[in-house]
């Protein structure tokens, strides 16, 4: 039996893993943002809660941009083409 070796580019593998993790985080951030907007539109939140949510979402968006820059990615790089289903991360 001959052994097969898998040549792995560790740097590329690390970049792909970071990209995958940031994609999941961005998906969750967008879902949280949509949920918050629904709650604001329904009037379920106090003015203070609306303000806190707005600030938190702005900070999360800025942090995602920073993380992407640190790893040589753009937010657009995190989007996955799901074929006939469209894009994973629709941007508003």
49 token code pair: 């809660």
| Nearest-angstrom CA–CA distance, 54 and 13 | 35
Weakly modelled stretches of the chain, pLDDT under 70: 1-2, 6-7, 90-92
pLDDT at position 1 is 56
Report pTM. 0.73
pLDDT at position 6 is 65
């Amino acid at each position: 039996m001959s052994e097969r070796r898998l040549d792995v580019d560790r740097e590329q593998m690390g970049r792909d893993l970071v990209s995958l993790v940031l994609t999941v985080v961005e998906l969750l951030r967008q879902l949280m943002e949509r949920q918050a907007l629904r709650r604001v539109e329904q009037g379920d939140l106090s003015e203070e809660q609306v303000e806190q949510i707005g600030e938190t979402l702005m900070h999360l968006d800025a942090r995602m941009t920073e993380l992407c820059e640190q790893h040589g990615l753009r937010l657009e790089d995190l989007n996955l083409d799901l074929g006939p289903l469209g894009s994973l991360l629709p941007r508003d």
